[in-house]
Copies of this chain bind each other. A is one copy, B any other.
Amino acid sequence: MENLYEQSALRLLQAADEIRARLAGEFSAVHGISVNEFFVLLHLERATKHRLPRVELAKRMHISASTITRMAAPMEKIGLIERHTDERDARLAFMVITDAGREKLSETRATLAKQAGYLFDERWDEATLNQFSTELHRLVSGSVSNLT
């Protein structure tokens, strides 16, 4: 591997794949939601007034607006989110996280923390992890998808 940029990018993609695969299994088995549904809840909770227009959420998640539309239906059905309209602009269909959605999010985040713990704790000490997190933050801080 001759190029440090290439090497780092590949390792980053692989590490993320590993984590995502683990989480997909755990989230599905334990909480009955997908990783993307988890991210929907997370984005909504952190948004102003705990709500976002569909298009804005799509941008933050790097997915298309049609996917958001299609994800919203079942999540509304099981009560994790609600659909609100805007008084000023009838085009907007806000997605709002419900109390049940917050509860689900909280449980799922605990699973995430546990799984991440397994992965990180046995490999890095706290100082390393702190630095790693800070470095990652520089990568995502300018992004619309930044959650942290």
Q: How many copies of this chain are found per oligomer?
A: 2
- The chain B residue sitting closest to A24, CB to CB, is B62
A117 to B12, CA, bound (A): 14
Residues A14 and B116 in contact in the complex (CB < 8 Å), given A8-B136, A135-B132, A136-B8:
no
A119 within 8 A of B: yes
A1 to B146, CA, bound (A): 13
A34 to B131, CA, bound (A): 33
Q: Which stretch of A72-80, A88-96, A122-130 is in the interface?
A: A122-130
Given contacts A4-B130, A15-B140, 13 further A-B contacts (CB under 8 A): A1-B148, A4-B129, A9-B120, A11-B137, A11-B139, A12-B12, A12-B136, A15-B136, A15-B139, A16-B17, A17-B62, A18-B62, A18-B143
- The chain B residue sitting closest to A133, CB to CB, is B8
A8 and B145 contact, CB distance less than 8 A: no
- The chain B residue sitting closest to A138, CB to CB, is B123
Chain A residues with CB under 8 Å of chain B are 1, 3-21, 42, 62, 109, 112-113, 115-117, 119-121, 123-124, 126, 128-133, 135-140, 143, 145-148
Contact of A112 among B9, B128, B131 (CB under 8 A): B9
Q: How many Å from the CB of A114 to the closest CB on chain B? A: 8
